[in-house]
Amino acid sequence: GRLYVNRVFHMSADKMFELLFSDSLFIRRFMEARKITGATSTPWQRDGSGSLKRTLKYTITITNPLVGKFSTATEMQTLHKDSHEGQNYMVDAEVYTHDVPYHDYFYTFNRFCIIRNSKHKCRLRVYTDVKYKKQPWGLVKSFITKNSWSGLEDYFRHLETELLEEEAELTSGGGDS
Ligand code: YK8
């Protein structure tokens, strides 16, 4: 896998979690900028092991010329039970893109770690991996992997940029940060 984001932000771990994993203005605007439409989400619900789970569905717009312009996607998120409010959060997300070529072979695994640094600082780490449900022919596999990495890199670089913007807005004028 790859580590796409690994940086300290001047905001609390709670704030970071709220920005990324609730129906925040931030995430709504970000989705709009990425042309991700029709997003629906189940509420966070506790499973047998004590973790919280939710399922998101949306349509993504794709810029890769090899692929159709849109794809529906399903994202299953797990907030691990040892995530302590105000401290650290770990969210695993499995993303299935249903309408891209070879969609039945692979999915994407994203792990978000939000680690409290101090009252007003946290570290965000996003680790990503392309996973295979069945083994494709070698050339196909490298084709999928290569095309997935480029799309993911673009996405997470953009997310990091927008988070830095948000951080700047939060720390300017706020006063008590
Ligand atoms: C989520 C992984 C692969 C896919 C795409 C497919 C290439 C198909 C390969 C063929 C277009 C928001 C990606 C990047 C679309 C976007 C997905 C996003 C960024 C040519 C063999 C959508 C996180 C996420 C996970 C997986 C990404 C797809 O929050 O290359």
Predicted local confidence at residue 81, as pLDDT: 80
Predicted local confidence at residue 177, as pLDDT: 47
Q: Residue with structure tokens 């042309």?
A: 35
CA distances from 82 to 50, 90, 91, 120, 148 (A): 9, 8, 11, 21, 30
Query: In sequence order, which residues have a C-beta less than 8 Å from that of residue 155 and are 6 or more positions away?
Result: 34
Predicted local confidence at residue 89, as pLDDT: 95
Instruction: Give SS3 for 143.
Output: helix
Atom number of ligand 1 nearest to Cα 67: 20
Task: Tell me, in angstroms, the distance from the centre of ligand 1 to residue 16's CA.
Answer: 23
| Ranges of H-type helices in the chain | 13-21, 25-33, 138-171
ipTM of the predicted assembly exceeds 0.90:
yes
Q: What's the full length of the chain, in residues? A: 177
The first and second tokens of residue 34, run together, are 């990425």
The first and second tokens of residue 37, run together, are 């439409």
Predicted local confidence at residue 68, as pLDDT: 87
Atom number of ligand 1 nearest to Cα 66: 20
Ligand 1 mutation pick, 20, 147, 149, max ligand atoms within 8 A of CB: 147
> Whose CA is closest to atom 1 on ligand 1?
95
pTM for this predicted structure: 0.94
Predicted local confidence at residue 174, as pLDDT: 56
Task: Tell me, in angstroms, the distance from the centre of ligand 1 to residue 66's CA.
Answer: 12
Predicted local confidence at residue 65, as pLDDT: 87
Predicted local confidence at residue 82, as pLDDT: 78
C-alpha–C-alpha distance, residues 66 and 62, integer Å: 10
Predicted local confidence at residue 6, as pLDDT: 98
Task: Tell me, in angstroms, the distance from the centre of ligand 1 to residue 25's CA.
Answer: 23
Predicted local confidence at residue 175, as pLDDT: 52
Q: Give me the residues of the chain with pLDDT under 70, please.
A: 174-177
Q: DSSP label at 43?
A: P
19 CB near ligand 1 (under 6 Å): no
Task: Tell me, in angstroms, the distance from the centre of ligand 1 to residue 40's CA.
Answer: 18
> Whose CA is closest to atom 17 on ligand 1?
152
